[in-house]
Amino acid sequence: MTVQAKPTPGATLLSPQDHTLILIDFQSQMAFATHSIDATVLRNNAALMSRAAAGFGVSTILTTVAEKSFSGPMFGEITEAFAGQAMLDRTSMNTWEDAAVIERVNAIGKPRIVLAGLWTSVCIVGPALSALAQGFEVYVIADACGDVSAEAHERAMQRMVQAGARPMTSLQYLLELQRDWARGETYELTTGIARQWGGAYGLGVTYAKTMFGAHEG
């Protein structure tokens, strides 16, 4: 059988318009016990992911657990990207069991859910498995999640992948939203985020632009 290639994206690639990003429990109390990822790296990846979503106009839900009584405020790297957006505070560990969150998910009405937050084995596994069971496609930004140990994080990621979730990274998320350097309207946004939060890749972008006036498009 002959297969004919076409210059079109694969059906599982994300676009800014086709998904809801849910950022869960990026809070001080949750971060204190997170050991699967360095706190500085986690905050950097949270900033990268958040700036990407905000810049591309992705529908985003911010949710916390016991913000006033126990867990503390959400990371500034996130709230600054979504300035003025209200938090949905919960009592449930599983975000998908919170009526206010689900009301917002249904109001947005998109078939794909992208998750990130703390901790992977509780606050990300819960909504991931619940959303999958209800027919949503689920993606998890793995390097913008963390847990009490590397073992806890890895087992949680495996459990979600086995159930059908698709793992990705924060930089991958940014570049998948852009996906074509000919999209001039978001070129400066994407390279600007990469330069500030994209690690060695961002340094490479800065070097190329400074030394040679390079342009990816």
pLDDT, tens digit only, all 217 positions of the chain: 899 999 999 999 999 999 999 999 999 999 999 999 999 999 999 999 999 999 999 999 999 997 777 888 999 999 999 999 999 999 999 999 999 999 999 999 999 999 999 999 999 999 999 999 999 999 999 999 999 999 999 999 999 999 999 999 999 999 999 999 999 999 999 999 999 999 888 888 888 777 877 666 5
pLDDT of residue 120: 98
Domains of the chain, each with CATH number or no CATH: 19-176 (3.40.50.850), 180-212 (no CATH)
User: 54, 173 in Cβ contact below 8 A?
Assistant: no
Q: Which pTM value belongs to this model?
A: 0.94
Contact between 156 and 140 (Cβ < 8 Å): no
Q: What is the pLDDT of residue 66?
A: 75
| Residue in the block written with tokens 């350097």 | 181
User: Position of tokens 């790296």?
Assistant: 41
Distances (CA, A) of 70 to 27, 28, 39, 60: 10, 9, 19, 24
